[in-house]
A and B are shown apart, each in its own frame.
Chain A
Amino acid sequence: MRASLVALLLLAGAAMAQSDPAMDKRVAALAVELRCLVCQNQTLADSNAALAVDLRNQIREQLEKGASEQDVIDFMVARYGDFVLYKPPFKASTLALWLGPFVLLALGVWALLRQIARRRVPSPELSAAERDRAARLLE
């Protein structure tokens, strides 16, 4: 009985919330950042899977109760792990991921500067004898 009461409240909540565009935006903003676990790589916003609908309603419910965006994210991660986040968290296990591209860029720039230095056309230095010869030829 309690369960069906909760379900009714959810539906009512959803119906009522339809007229609140600001809340819709907040729910949508969170839903695009979270992954639908039963889909083949889709966000909670784009998926029609039952679990995705449930989780979107969860998000709405929590935001309406006053939770912050971070609270909702923590809620999801506590239950489903980091997998549910499309933006990988910055932690020890993702250090290589976040720093990698910039390390690659630094390496690339270093390689670029080295190549340019190696291929520099040396400015021609004439010896005294060559200079005389050039002068005579130019007369």
Chain B
Amino acid sequence: MIPELGQLALSVALVVALVQGILPLAGAARGDAAWMGVARPAAHAQALLIAFAFGCLVQSFVVNDFSVQNVAMNSNSALPLHFRVAASWGSHEGSLLLWCLMLGGWMSAVALFSAHLPESMTARVLGVLGLVSAGFLAFLLFTSNPFDRLFPVPADGRDLNPLLQDAGMVIHPPMLYMGYVGFSVAYAFAVAALLSGRLDAAWARWSRPWTTVAWVFLTLGIALGSGWAYYELGWGGWWFWDPVENASFLPWLVGTALIHSLAVTEKRGAFRSWTVLLAIVAFALSLLGTFLVRSGVLTSVHAFAVDPARGVFILALFVGAIGSALVLYAWRTSRIGLGGGFEPVSRESLLLANNVLLVTAAGAVLLGTLYPLALDAFTGGKISVGPQYFEIVFVPIMAPALFLMGVGPLARWKRASLPELAVLLRWALGVSLAAGLLLPFAFGQWHALVGLGLALAVWIVATALLSLRKRLRQTRAHYGMVLAHIGVAVFVVGVTLVNGYESEQDAKMVPGDSVTLDGYAFRLDSVRPVNGPNYRAAQAMFTVTRDGAPVTVMRPERRSYPVQDQTMTEAAIKPGLTGDLYVSLGDPLEGGAWLVKVQIKPFIDWIWGGCVLMAIGGLLAASDRRYRQPMPARREQAAEAAA
């Protein structure tokens, strides 16, 4: 009964989505207030209906209703409650419903927080979102229905993949989807601007906080995925440049370019058509990511059950949404002027350089991700493109961007004085070079890449603090930017030091054996059996000492999940500000011995700490008061005059 109600709710939501898509857009074109007025209530109605449907699915999981196919395939009666809930988005169908739920949430938020926008703008934005939602709901209902029933009803379910039975599963997908879906709002603003023919600073100001918040969620979502891989997969890695990881990173790179481009459009009315194009591309990359994960076109550990038929539907959505936006873009921007001019050395030119580098980096990652597919399509040859490739192409492109991060915020708009900048920056440059040359020695051997990374990180922090000192009017937006940039520096420190100085040791150990690594001694005390709610495990106990003094006790496990007949290793991690201790239990060997991998990861938590700082910075910036006020008429006219 309840699953059927859920399905009904989705069907009604689809109808509402179509109404929300068609009426307000037509109303805005015709100036019909009644039709435009449909947008907000429709958005709220959709959100409620989808939430209800989602609740129905979760309920089916919670009560172990195995007559629902999705529950039977992804859950089990022995699965703990919080994982039964998370299992509702552990499959292709369920995660798509989660996507729709997020979209409903974003639409409702736009409907609620758009009081200061002109009615026609709101109508257009919600109208576009309505069409996007209709597309996804149709996809859900016609090819990926989570409420399909199963006869005969199995006695128990196939259980959730053990790798997903983790806190990370509870939070990573929702956060990530909030980001992916959030860029549909940026896209909707862009298309609305194109439809209205009004591409100006005002539009940028309205669009900016929404885009920044979407970016914040995507940042957190990616960071959570990386952190989860680190402690769940047991081999100590945190980024593999896997196609699905890249699929989330691509919209992030373009999204970062977008939030910077929006700054220029808002402040100076320049880069208007470029900003609109970036918004379309960012969402296109979100859709591309969805396609790659669900179509079976690329091999990945993340991929859902492969189904090329579904791939065709998503491809159709992709073509529809992006193709139409691009046609609109070509038509509307062909006659747009340049906007405010600026000097070769100015904040605008530096932000443009930022955009060029970020978009180039995104292009490189896209190339590496899709190249195996292209080669197969053209020649039938098969190659793999792994981390070694991405690291070689990505770092040289991003390093200059990191350097420019220090100069941009200090440069004036329109015309910056190079001598003035040089004076301002010279001590920061000196400190950074010194750090790059000297700091690596504190951690071990000197490596050029470590020196470079540390120099850039110190540079970013030094210049960020400089910009705080220099500015008269400290706004939230500025603090937010400073914090986010410092977050990037912290991230760079983490990556640099982990890559430069991490160490590992594999050993065959029996209880009583000890392994030393970097001054830490890991003694295996015992291995005993431990039972979980739906698994059996062997739990090892390690006592860790340093120079004889006890540091901690670590308990890695090797778990067997009987339902799916899968074994996985649950690493023991001792986190720390200056580094993690990482112990994972491998295969059991003869004679009561175990294969053990011990690792030391210096400063690895700075990677995710940096991402959190970036996210807080973004939220701070988005909450700046000026985004909630209508733009003063004088500035609006000036911005339009500059057009």
Contacts and interface: CB of A to CB of B under 8 A. Distances in A.
Interface string B371-391: 100010001011111111100
Interface in B243-259: 243
A7 interface: no
B142 to A, nearest CB: 28
B389 A97 contact: yes
Contacts of A82: 381-384
Contacts, number: 120
Nearest to A122: B341
A13 interface: no
A68 interface: no
Interface in A45-79: 45-46, 48
Contacts of B393: 101-102
B356 A41 contact: no
Interface in B218-244: 233, 235, 237, 240, 242-243
A97 B270 contact: no
Contacts of B357: 108
A111 interface: yes
A115 B353 CA distance: 10
Given A41-B299, A115-B352, A100 B386 contact: no
Given A112-B356, A120-B343, A85 B508 contact: no
A87 B388 contact: yes
Interface string A84-123: 1111110001101110111011001101100110111110
B2 interface: no
Nearest to B362: A104
A24 interface: yes
B265 interface: no
B368 interface: yes
A101 B318 CA distance: 25
A77 to B, nearest CB: 11
B417 interface: no
B236 to A, nearest CB: 10
Contact of B364 (A85, A93, A101): A101
B506 interface: yes
Given A40-B303, A112-B352, A116-B349, A121 B414 contact: yes
Contact of A119 (B233, B342, B364): B342
Interface residues of B, number: 52
With most chain A CB atoms within 10 A of its CB, the pick from B237, B384, B415, B508 is B384
Nearest to A117: B344
B309 interface: no
Nearest to B508: A18
A40 B300 contact: yes
Contacts of A120: 341-344
B29 interface: no
Contacts of A119: 270, 338, 340-342, 348
A14 to B, nearest CB: 9
Given A105-B397, A116-B349, A85 B506 contact: no
A81 interface: yes
A115 B356 CA distance: 11
B360 interface: yes
A58 B81 CA distance: 45
Interface string A1-22: 0000000000000010010010
A41 B481 CA distance: 37
Contacts of A83: 382-384
B385 A88 contact: yes
Contact of B375 (A93, A102, A108): A93
A15 B387 CA distance: 31
B384 A86 contact: yes
Interface residues of A, number: 45
B164 to A, nearest CB: 14
B367 interface: yes
Nearest to B506: A24
Contacts of A18: 507-508
B353 A112 contact: yes
B243 A41 contact: yes
Nearest to A40: B301
B579 interface: no
B365 to A, nearest CB: 9
A127 B382 CA distance: 68
A39 B233 CA distance: 14
Nearest to A110: B356
Nearest to A80: B382
B299 A40 contact: yes
A81 B348 CA distance: 48
A20 to B, nearest CB: 11
With most chain A CB atoms within 10 A of its CB, the pick from B237, B352, B383 is B383
B364 A104 contact: yes
A105 B389 contact: no
B381 A28 contact: no
Given A42-B301, A120-B343, A88 B243 contact: no
A105 B384 contact: no
B301 A28 contact: no
B492 interface: no
B363 interface: yes
Interface string B391-410: 00100010000000000000
A24 B515 CA distance: 15
Contact of B360 (A81, A88, A104, A122): A104
A97 B341 contact: no
Contacts of A35: 384, 386
Nearest to A121: B341
B300 A41 contact: yes
A108 B356 contact: yes
Given A88-B383, A88-B385, A121 B342 contact: yes
Nearest to A47: B235
6 contacts: A40-B300, A85-B386, A86-B385, A97-B368, A104-B363, A115-B352
Given A82-B384, A101-B367, A121-B342, 19 more contacts: A28-B504, A39-B301, A41-B301, A48-B567, A83-B384, A93-B379, A93-B381, A93-B383, A97-B368, A100-B363, A101-B360, A101-B364, A104-B363, A104-B367, A105-B360, A119-B340, A119-B341, A120-B344, A121-B341
The 10 closest A-B pairs by CB, nearest first: A86-B386, A101-B364, A87-B388, A108-B356, A101-B393, A121-B341, A83-B382, A108-B360, A119-B341, A104-B363
